[in-house]
Structure 1
Amino acid sequence: MLCLSLVIIMIGNTSLNVALPSLSEQLRATNSQLQWMVDGYSLMFAGLLFGAANFGDRYGRKGILQFGLLLFGGATGYAAFLADGAGQLIAARVVMGAGAAMVMPATLSIITNIFPAEERARAVAIWAGVSGAGAAIGPLLSGLVLEHFEWSAVFAVNLPFVLLALLLGASMVPRSRGEHDSPLDIVGAILSAVALSSIVYAIIEAPSRGWLGSSTMAVGSVGLLAAVTFVLWELHVEHPMLDVRLFRIAGFGISSLILTMTFFALMGMFFSMTQMLQLVWGYSPLEAAVRLLPISAGVMLAAPRSARLAERFGKSRVVAAGMWMVAGGILTASVTRVDSSYLVLITGLFVMALGMGTAMSPTTDLLMSTVPRKQSGMGSAMNDTTRELGGSLGVAVFGSVLASRYVAGLSGAIETFPDRAQEGITGSLAGALRVAGGAPDAPGRALVVAARAAWMDGFRLSMLVAAVVVGAAGLVAWRFLPDTAMDLPLAEDLSADELRWAENISEVGGPGGGVPHPGEAGQGSR
């Protein structure tokens, strides 16, 4: 039942990408609305993850798991049967993200508490495998459904599984809760949500409102101010949602950056690729989903071998090489044109996926090994949050760079169309193709050629920006990422007590070796 709940959440997270062209066509959604359909889910997921995990530990994991499934199922049902516009669908996705934030950490917490120590590693490995399988199944299931039904069926197909998970959970999942009742950090949760949503909002809306427009700058400034306030609050509150002191340890801070950048590239590519395959190259939703399978294959091929490579060459070298492979794969994919062969695209995507698989496992291991045992839940939540935050930023940055270049590239090709038609053309590629379909033959064909060329120009620019960002992350990994939990180039910045605590990680062999973090001694349980 726990694995079923996890599969439901992962399918909900990845299935929408293949449906984006259909949503753009049938709901007349603009580029920014498509971005919000994806990011609304991810942002709510990331913003509530720490608080939901803490709430489950305090009041009961089974209860929050069941409530999360109810919330997710209710929003899914609304999206499937009641939502008839882009705004309503975005709202449903936001609520789905809130439900997912309650379900995902609860499944892992329950597993780690009901299995004995000798079986726990195997159970967690199965949990991780199911998570990856669900992420891979999502696009395929979405493509298969869209071959025969409208976009709403992408949501409806999930409902029977949600109902089954609720019924099985009520009878099969044992009740459990944490040993200590740490108070919820409500202020921290609000500040983090405001910071994330404001920054992403500014990035997504910038192409239509202007990168230096007053609303863009104002909302972006609010996000940055909220982020700074969040850090200051977490440093001084007795029971923080996220102990930001952990970022002073290179193994935690740099690993978090690498994981964020990995999913920045992955989800940004998914957002762009599904539209390119369907709207530029003319593949069906199922054909597009099948052509993206090599990404999952590359990650699954490289990930199991990365630990052995890290032991031989060191984590910093292996992770840096992985990130540079990601950047190289993105650069290879960026040369794709309207008339290019699929082989060119998939070569780049497969190299990118191999790099992701190479980088993710060592960084995840290092992140978790540098967290004190009593804060392992925080480490697990951070591990999940980096993925959702990276994905949100990837969709926002890829989509906004692409949209800005797309609109600029069309400026001289749409002057003969009425103002209302121009709004549809610049709103999205699907809108341009829809206007072209209703135009006279010659202008319509010219618009299709111009719109696809402008979109591909935006695609290439977004790839170049992403390659630079990911390549820079590789340099950071090469320079600062420790090869063990205590090979810390940043150790000189730690206090003597913090340094001694961090050293104990490698000397004793466990997260913190049972030694509390400096500042925890004498405070009792945090």
Structure 2
Amino acid sequence: MRVASGDTRLAVSSPPVRPFLVLGACCLSLFLVMMDVTIVNVALPSIRLAFDAGIPALQWIVDAYTLVVSALLMMAGTLADRFGRRRIFLTGIVVFCLASALCGMATSSGALIAARALQGVGGAMLNPVALSIIANTFTQPAARARAIGVWGMMSGAALAIGPVAGGAISDLFGWRMVFWINLPIGVMALLLTLRFIPESRSPVPRRFDFPGQSLAALTTVALVAALIEGPGFGWGSFPIRGLFVLAAVGSVSFVLIEGRRAEPMLDLRFFRSPPFASSVVLAVLCFAIFASLLFLNTLYLQEYCGMTPGRAGLELMPLAVAVMIGAPLSGRLVAARGARLPLLLAAGGLTVGPLMLTGLDAAVSWEWRAAGYAVLGAGFGLCNAPITNAAVSGMPRRQAGVAAAVASTSRQIGTALGVAIAGSVGAAEALHASVGGRLSADFLGLMRSVCWLAAGGGVLVGVIALLGTSRHAQRVARRMADGFDSSPQG
């Protein structure tokens, strides 16, 4: 078995490396983690009825998972680099499946939120570790770009398939089955991992950075909690102002402490590379746009238009198909033309799609809805491969776990922020007002506000894409990569 010098250290008993089977196992685990982000969305109205839950509870059911994932991703990457990527990966699959079973047995919204948080612990061990396994298995740039394209396709497809599958499963078997379905997929991923994925770790183990980890988690949780609970408590109330201050203090403290540590959890020098820094911002923006509109549209289709979960899932099918087409196309474009073209196309879809959705009401034709969802899905599908490729390219492969975790963390933070903002913009009382058991017309005002905000985010995606893929940015990135190679720390 040939291994790149200075990259990884494989155990003697490791299974034989079969790159595409390794990729398959990693993609299957990613399918689990990413589908669970969105499969719950279509089931939210049913969960709301089952537990008599309010909109903030529904937001927490989605965000408890994504918040824990984003808070622990970087620690999971460090653990994987130190103790072995395969070992952490296997542990993540087991925890995720156990938590899925607890979600399926939940008897209250509080119990479901707690189980979702435990799911996040397992998910944090899967997403970045799988990506670092791919980065260390496919060492040639072109092969890595193609593999990451497949990875991006699976990520986008899982996110898009989630609402369709969630609607069908909820109609046929009830909302609890959207969690139980994770178990057979998890078992398949477990068997593939045991058989085909070799053990690998960084040759220079990194120390744990508990101050950095704690501050990163504190900042993220405080910010999202403020956005979710702000409408209920009042934006000027002491608890909400305190949460915003806590998030600000946490972020500043994180930068100050991490910049002074000899072995930080996150090497802040990464952000001196324009492509890497832009990939982080783009991931947050793209996933926030997608998550906010998905959250609101599942409520719009079911609680405003009166559709069943299955019908709502079918209405979202154009979005799923567009993501699945856009993701592999994006991977090929990255391999052939670089990141700029797919990012600009993604920006177009993420701008035009939300603009089309500003016209939704109860009477709008399904053709217009389908077109809007398709444009949004195409834009989202095109963004994943170039973002991921920029995040791991130019970084030292012995820190692949941490670099991949940063990219994955950005996605999860974007998802959490998108759901939080969706329930906050335009006053959350609009979500609670109902007419005949359905959401009132005030909900459409909220939804249009979020769509306009999302369209502005799409324009910003295009601007950042141009800056992050410029010739100057590429020259700076090459100098940064050379500096990492010659640095004893990098």
- For residue 465 of structure 1, what is the aligned residue in structure 2? 453
Q: How does 1:345-364 map to 2 (within 5 A)?
A: 345-364=369-388
CA contact (8 A) 1:366 1:485 kept: no
- For residue 456 of structure 1, what is the aligned residue in structure 2? 444
For 2:483, give the aligned amino acid. Answer: P
Q: How big is the shift at 1:12?
A: 1.9
Q: How big is the shift at 1:175?
A: 3.1
Q: How big is the shift at 1:458?
A: 1.4
Q: How does 1:349-428 map to 2 (within 5 A)?
A: 349-401=373-425, 403-404=427-428, 406=430, 426=432
Q: 2:203 aligns with which of 179, 198, 202?
A: 179
Q: How big is the shift at 1:164?
A: 4.5
Moved more, 69-78 or 319-328: 319-328
| Equivalent position SS for 2:483 | coil
Whole-angstrom distance in 2 between the partners of 1:62 and 1:46: 20
| Equivalent position SS for 1:84 | coil
- For residue 321 of structure 2, what is the aligned residue in structure 1? 297
Whole-angstrom distance in 1 between the partners of 2:218 and 2:168: 37
- For residue 180 of structure 2, what is the aligned residue in structure 1? 156
| Equivalent position SS for 1:236 | coil
- For residue 333 of structure 1, what is the aligned residue in structure 2? 357
Q: How big is the shift at 1:58?
A: 0.6
Q: How big is the shift at 1:111?
A: 4.2
Q: How big is the shift at 1:238?
A: 1.1
Moved more, 51-60 or 70-79: 70-79
Q: Aligned pair 1:96/2:83, yes or no?
A: no
Whole-angstrom distance in 2 between the partners of 1:503 and 1:244: 17
| Equivalent position SS for 1:400 | coil
Q: How big is the shift at 1:13?
A: 2.1
Q: How big is the shift at 1:393?
A: 0.8
- For residue 267 of structure 2, what is the aligned residue in structure 1? 243
- For residue 442 of structure 1, what is the aligned residue in structure 2? none
CA contact (8 A) 1:262 1:470 kept: yes
Q: Aligned pair 1:482/2:449, yes or no?
A: no
Distance 1:470 1:35, change over 3 A: same
* Alignment length (residue pairs): 465
| Equivalent position SS for 1:65 | helix
CA contact (8 A) 1:372 1:516 kept: no
Unpaired segments ≥5 residues, structure 2: 1-24
Greater relative CO (CA pairs within 8 A, separation 6+) = 2
For 2:165, give the aligned amino acid. Answer: L
Q: How big is the shift at 1:390?
A: 0.9
- State, as a whole percentage, how many aligned pairs show the same letter: 33
- For residue 218 of structure 1, what is the aligned residue in structure 2? 242
Distance 1:254 1:110, change over 3 A: closer
Unpaired segments ≥5 residues, structure 1: 408-425, 438-447, 489-498, 506-511
Q: How big is the shift at 1:260?
A: 1.4
CA contact (8 A) 1:54 1:184 kept: yes
Moved more, 465-474 or 279-288: 465-474
Whole-angstrom distance in 2 between the partners of 1:20 and 1:105: 27
TM-score by length of 1: 0.80
For 1:293, give the aligned amino acid. Answer: M
Q: How does 1:48-59 map to 2 (within 5 A)?
A: 48-59=72-83
Q: How big is the shift at 1:296?
A: 2.9
CA contact (8 A) 1:315 1:481 kept: no
Whole-angstrom distance in 1 between the partners of 2:468 and 2:139: 33
- For residue 517 of structure 1, what is the aligned residue in structure 2? 484
For 1:96, give the aligned amino acid. Answer: Q
Q: Aligned pair 1:189/2:213, yes or no?
A: yes
Whole-angstrom distance in 1 between the partners of 2:397 and 2:279: 18
Distance 1:6 1:328, change over 3 A: closer
Moved more, 354-363 or 246-255: 354-363
CA contact (8 A) 2:148 2:389 kept: no
TM-score by length of 2: 0.85
Distance 1:54 1:34, change over 3 A: same
CA contact (8 A) 1:15 1:154 kept: yes
**CA offsets 1:159-215 (integer angstroms, 9 cap, x no match):** 233344445544554333221111122211111000000000000101101111111
